[in-house]
Structure 1
Amino acid sequence: MNRKQPVTPFGWAIKQRLAELQMDQKTFCTRYGIPPSRLSNLINGTRKATRYRKQVADLLDIHDYCNH
């Protein structure tokens, strides 16, 4: 089961912003109550995860990708 999904532009924006904040995905999810699987869905585009998309965009200030 090594089907690796490509990272979406929104996913790259998430990863870049987390790197700028010097925070890993696990810490971010724990701090803001976001399930790690949903953050992964947003990064890889496997599910829309619309419930968390706006929250993540707001928290990381990456609104350019919010409506994609």
Structure 2
Amino acid sequence: MNRKQPVTSFGWAIKQRLAELQMDQQTFCECYGIPPSRLSNLINGTRKAARYRKQVAELLDIPEYPH
């Protein structure tokens, strides 16, 4: 599958932590009121989404990697 935007290091950390928690992206977004598009932006680095970046990092207990 060809991706327009590669996954960022922060995106990989999100994906890894969600896998450890056995939770998919959609469920995570529904549980914490995060728009799925913003989580996607964080994973792919297409937008800063600073407000959600901090929230996601805290919820998943992962460091806020530089953009």
Q: TM-score, normalised by structure 1?
A: 0.90
Given residue 8 of structure 1, which amino acid in structure 2 is its aligned partner? T
The answer (yes or no) to whether the contact 2:10–2:65 under 8 Å persists in 1 is: no
- 1:52-67 paired onto structure 2 within 5 Å: 52-63=52-63, 66-67=64-65
The question of whether the paired residues in 1 share the 8 Å contact of 2:9 and 2:65 is answered with: no
Q: Which amino acid aligns with 1:56?
A: V
Tell me which stretches of 4 or more aligned residues in structure 1 moved more than 3 Å. Answer: none
**Structure 2: gaps (5+ residues):** none
Structure 2 vs 1, CA of residues 67 and 14 (structure 1 numbering), >3 Å: closer, same or farther?
closer
Q: TM-score scaled to structure 2, two decimals?
A: 0.92
Deviation of residue 4 (structure 1)?
2.2
In the alignment, does 2:60 pair up with 1:25?
no
Identity %: 85
| C-alpha RMSD of the superposition | 1.2
Instruction: Give structure 1 stretches of 5+ with no counterpart.
Output: none
